[in-house]
């Protein structure tokens, strides 16, 4: 960990410390960790040092003129000065044009490189939604952290479920808007194994600052091992443990607590088997059908006191995934898989859904 991260450790929230730990010992930029980072930095530093040079020249001349040509007394009269100099005007026009043309050519080459992914690139689908990222790999595995192999081109095909987000990986010098209703693409080739921050740079609501995750670049041969292990998570863990892992992986804990405190959404503590008050009136028993519908159709029935802001997880979670999440929620209610006691709830004549309405704020 560098000095900045170490100094900030005592007062910085725990969720941010892993990202501060990635800051390198460089004032301006993180370490170059992708094949395109060098080209981006070349343009940045060229513009930066040109700006520093001309700032120093202009401010220096201005200060010198103020001293050299100041009025020294009441009898001082301004002398006659030249009003036109062709050579000088051509010079101060030609130099900026040449500099701008060079910067344009170098920058445009870098832009074309970032915009054109190699045909052999490994493709990962990215979905942004308030306030988390989902990365879908070619075998169908979905993760909220990005994992890639080292020294291999990776193409990201991105879309949004709700508002405009913007994916940014500082160490790779990659930034691209993620827009609802269309697909944007970007690519990179990571050159150094390690873990790097990935975040959203487009303000997308109250949880924008929490929309961060990480990119893990695996050593040769290790990415395939990771993908195989993660894809078979449910087969290797007991249902409740697998459900806990899925709750964490899918970002549910950004909005729901495990200790009984209310956040953006209601707590998971003692949820299963409880009687839940609904915004539209009435109560619903939080059984298996209730939780399943809450995950797939979160706007069907909103918990009283909360807003309908949860996105659907239809297509992101399989039935087996939902079953393991239910098993995990049962452990938080102390039921251990027991059936909840029957309680009065809305019937078909009251709500039109046989009492199986859903709550908005389940993961």
Residue at which a domain ends, from 215, 231, 247: 231
CB-CB contact of 7 with 15 (8 Å): no
What are the helix (H) ranges across 69-85? none
Angle at 337 between CA 331 and CA 339, to 5 degrees: 125
| Residues spanned by the domain of 43 | 37-68+84-115
Residue 179 lies in a domain: yes
Q: Is residue 79 part of a domain?
A: no
Same domain, 314 and 258: yes
Determine the average pLDDT of the residues in 158-177. 93
**pLDDT beyond 80 at 362:** no
Query: 132: which strand partners?
Result: 129
State the total domains in the chain.
Answer: 3
- The average confidence (pLDDT) of the chain is 81
Residues 170 and 267 placed together within one structural domain of the fold: no
What is the spatial distance between Cα 317 and Cα 327, in angstroms, rounded to a whole number?
A: 15
Tens digits of residue pLDDT in 118-167: 999 999 999 998 888 989 999 888 888 999 999 999 999 999 988 999 99
- Structural domain includes residue 301: yes
Is the residue at 12 inside a domain?
no
pLDDT band at 195 (very low <50, low <70, confident <90, very high): very high
The verdict on residue 330 lying in a domain is yes
Report yes or no on 111 lying in a domain: yes
Domain co-membership, 153 together with 246: no
CA distance 299 to 146: 29
- Inter-residue contact 260 to 271 (CB < 8 Å): no
pLDDT at 346 over 80: no
Residue 195: CATH number of its domain: 2.60.40.420
Give ∠ CA 322-327-330 in degrees, rounded to 5.
125
């Amino acid at each position: 960990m560098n000095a900045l991260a170490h100094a900030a450790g005592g007062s910085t929230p725990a969720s941010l410390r892993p990202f501060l730990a990635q800051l390198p010992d460089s004032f301006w930029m993180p370490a170059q960790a992708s094949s395109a980072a060098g080209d981006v930095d070349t343009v940045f530093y060229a513009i930066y040092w040109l700006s520093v040079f001309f700032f120093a020249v202009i401010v220096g001349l201005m200060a010198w003129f103020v001293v050299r040509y100041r009025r020294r007394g009441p009898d001082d009269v301004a002398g006659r000065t030249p009003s036109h100099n062709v050579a000088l005007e051509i010079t101060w026009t030609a130099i900026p044009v040449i500099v701008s043309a060079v910067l344009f050519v170098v920058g445009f080459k870098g832009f074309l490189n970032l915009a054109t992914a190699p045909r052999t690139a490994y493709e990962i689908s990215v979905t942004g939604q308030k306030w988390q990222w989902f990365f879908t790999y070619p075998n169908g595995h979905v993760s909220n952290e990005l994992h890639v192999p080292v020294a291999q081109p990776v193409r990201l095909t991105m879309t949004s479920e709700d508002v405009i987000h913007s994916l940014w990986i500082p160490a790779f010098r990659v930034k691209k808007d993620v827009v609802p209703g269309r697909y944007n693409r970007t690519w990179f080739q990571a050159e150094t194994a390690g873990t790097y921050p990935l975040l959203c740079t487009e303000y997308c609501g109250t949880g924008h600052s929490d929309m961060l995750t990480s990119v893990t670049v695996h050593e040769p041969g290790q990415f395939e091992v990771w993908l195989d292990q993660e894809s078979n998570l449910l087969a290797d863990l007991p249902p409740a443990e697998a459900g806990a892992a899925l709750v964490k992986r899918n970002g549910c804990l950004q909005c729901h607590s495990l200790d009984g405190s209310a956040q953006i959404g209601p707590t998971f503590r003692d949820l299963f088997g409880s009687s839940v008050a609904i915004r539209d009136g009435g109560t619903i028993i939080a059984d298996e059908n209730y939780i399943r519908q809450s995950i797939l159709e979160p706007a069907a029935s909103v918990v009283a006191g909360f807003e309908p802001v949860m996105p659907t997880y239809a297509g992101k979670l399989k039935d087996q995934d939902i079953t393991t999440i239910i098993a995990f929620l049962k452990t938080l209610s102390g039921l251990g898989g027991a059936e909840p006691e029957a309680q009065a709830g809305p019937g078909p004549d009251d709500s039109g859904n046989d009492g199986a309405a859903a709550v908005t704020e389940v993961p």
